[in-house]
């Protein structure tokens, strides 16, 4: 995704397939959003973006490891491997979660 594509996505606002999240959320909060997308039609979670589309950015060190290991590795079952992307020249990242391929095995979160 280019920076212009990301900015256009943000300009279009949140929808049933796009969710904005600040960098200060807890792992369980992000896991819940990802599971909801996976159990529906898939979607994108943009980290470092406020609900109003403002981009305060990401301050958390090691964001990719936090997303992949802490959020998806510990709190999502069965595991989802999202498409993780940091857009150069921006201060946010995109995580894309595809739909759950098996309606017999809904994704769930643990630790609630």
pLDDT in tens, 11-70: 999 999 999 999 889 999 999 998 888 888 888 999 999 999 999 888 888 888 998 899
30: nearest Cα among 93, 86, 76: 76
21 lies in a domain?
A: yes
Q: Is residue 89 part of a domain?
A: yes
| Residue 12 confidence (pLDDT) | 96
Tell me how many domains the chain contains: 1
Q: What is the DSSP string of 37-68?
A: HHTTT-EEEEET--TTS-------TTHHHIII
In a domain, 109, yes or no: no
Question: What is the separation of C-alpha 70 from the centre of its chain, rounded to a whole number of angstroms?
Answer: 13
Q: CATH no. for residue 26?
A: 3.30.950.30
State yes or no: cis peptide before 42, omega within 30 of 0.
Answer: no
Residue 97 has pLDDT above 80, yes or no: no
Within a domain: 110: no
Whether residue 20 is contained in a domain is answered as yes
Supply the range of the domain harboring residue 35: 3-102
Residue 33 is assigned to a structural domain of this protein: yes
For the CA atoms of 20, 6, 56, 54, what is the dihedral angle to 10 degrees? Answer: -70
pLDDT band (50, 70, 90) for residue 76: confident
Q: Reduce the DSSP state of residue 19 to 3 states and report it.
A: strand
Listed as own residue / partner, the contacts of 81-85 with beta carbons closer than 8 Å and 24 or more positions apart are 82/34, 85/1
């Amino acid at each position: 995704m280019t920076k212009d594509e990301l900015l256009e996505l943000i300009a279009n606002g949140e929808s049933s397939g796009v969710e904005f999240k600040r960098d200060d959320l807890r792992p369980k909060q992000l896991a819940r959003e990802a599971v909801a997308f996976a159990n529906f039609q898939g979607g994108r979670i943009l980290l470092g973006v406020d609900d109003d589309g403002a981009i305060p950015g990401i301050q958390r060190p090691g964001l990719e490891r936090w997303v992949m290991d802490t959020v998806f590795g510990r709190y999502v079952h069965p595991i989802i491997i999202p498409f993780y992307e940091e857009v150069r020249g921006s201060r946010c990242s995109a995580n894309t979660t595809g739909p759950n391929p098996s309606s017999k095995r809904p994704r769930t979160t643990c630790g609630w």
